[in-house]
């Protein structure tokens, strides 16, 4: 997706298994803060819920993650919702929860990703791509786009593209949770920065504890419902992001209606970031 503005407060694939249950977890991560998201217009005037970057959830707290957008398009077949635009200096994972999306880029890659699948783009030294709703049955398109920074030493690598189908993404039970491993142990998705990225669903009152390696930092974003997150049981609702504390697993207890969230954590680069719209140097 295009990006027209710099972040609010710029700051400075190896992966892990989802982990054990709440009873097995000896050290639980705290939640540093809970922040709201907001709506912006991107591409061809598509309303997008922007979770990151955020004034509260600053980049230094969630490094290496630059941006997370949640997008919803009313129906398939709407054409190029995000017309051709350039990127440089980071990786992109676009995950389709519902519907489908088309992709075409300057490296000769083209295709459609369907619900439950994802695409990974390593922009590296630079590439153009266009995005739009796919050619599947008409209906709503719903998904998430995550930007993961590249280390300064890798900013100039060759661009690449990877499509992953829903059937290729591992799914596990962790406590009461169903966890889809978008990035992590067993997933074919390859990132340059050691990271994990999970789609987690918990039924009403369900409990889980997700292992996060020491040295990783990141966040949880609630897509639907609400739950109590972290050692202190902080309430996080749909549309809110919870920034993780420094060490331990992440315990979660679902609210009455259950909860669905994504968990993103990775090794921070701790390097200065220079934003220029779709370029991150």
Domain boundaries, the chain: 31-280
Considering the entire predicted model, what is its pTM?
0.88
Pairing of strands 118-122, 160-164: antiparallel
Strand pairing of 234-237 and 177-183? unpaired
Each residue's pLDDT expressed in tens, for the chain with a length of 281 residues = 544 333 333 333 444 567 654 333 468 999 999 999 999 887 657 789 999 999 999 999 999 999 999 998 875 444 456 667 789 999 999 999 999 888 888 787 888 999 999 999 999 999 987 776 655 555 788 999 999 999 999 999 999 999 999 999 999 999 999 999 999 999 999 899 999 999 999 999 999 999 999 999 999 999 999 999 999 999 999 999 999 999 999 999 999 999 999 999 999 999 999 999 899 99
pLDDT score of 16: 59
The answer as to CATH 2.60.120.10 being correct for domain 31-280 is yes
pLDDT at 243: 98
């Amino acid at each position: 997706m295009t990006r027209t503005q710099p972040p609010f407060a710029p700051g400075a694939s190896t992966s892990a298994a989802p982990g054990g249950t709440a009873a097995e977890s000896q050290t639980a991560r705290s939640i540093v803060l809970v922040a709201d998201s907001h709506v912006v217009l991107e591409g061809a005037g598509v309303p997008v819920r922007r979770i990151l970057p955020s004034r509260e959830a600053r980049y230094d707290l969630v490094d290496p993650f630059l941006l997370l957008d949640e997008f919803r398009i009313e129906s398939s077949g709407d054409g190029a919702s995000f017309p051709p635009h350039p990127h440089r200096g980071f990786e992109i994972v676009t995950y389709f929860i519902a519907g489908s999306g088309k992709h075409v880029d300057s490296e000769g890659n083209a295709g459609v990703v369907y619900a439950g699948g994802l695409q990974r783009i390593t922009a590296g030294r630079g590439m153009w791509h266009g995005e739009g709703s796919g050619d599947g049955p008409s209906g709503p398109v719903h998904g998430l786009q995550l930007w993961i920074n590249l280390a300064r030493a890798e900013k100039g690598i060759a661009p690449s593209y990877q499509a992953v189908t829903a059937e290729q993404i591992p799914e596990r039970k962790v406590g009461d949770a169903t966890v889809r491993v978008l990035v992590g142990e067993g997933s074919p998705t390859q990132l340059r920065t050691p990271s994990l990225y999970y789609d987690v669903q918990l039924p009403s009152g369900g409990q889980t504890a997700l292992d996060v390696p020491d040295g990783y930092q990141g966040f949880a974003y609630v897509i639907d419902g609400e739950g109590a997150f972290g050692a202190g049981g902080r309430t996080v609702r749909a549309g809110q992001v919870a920034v993780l504390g420094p060490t331990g697993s992440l315990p979660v207890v679902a609210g009455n209606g259950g909860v669905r969230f994504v968990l993103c954590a990775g090794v921070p680069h701790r390097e200065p970031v220079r934003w220029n719209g779709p370029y991150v140097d």
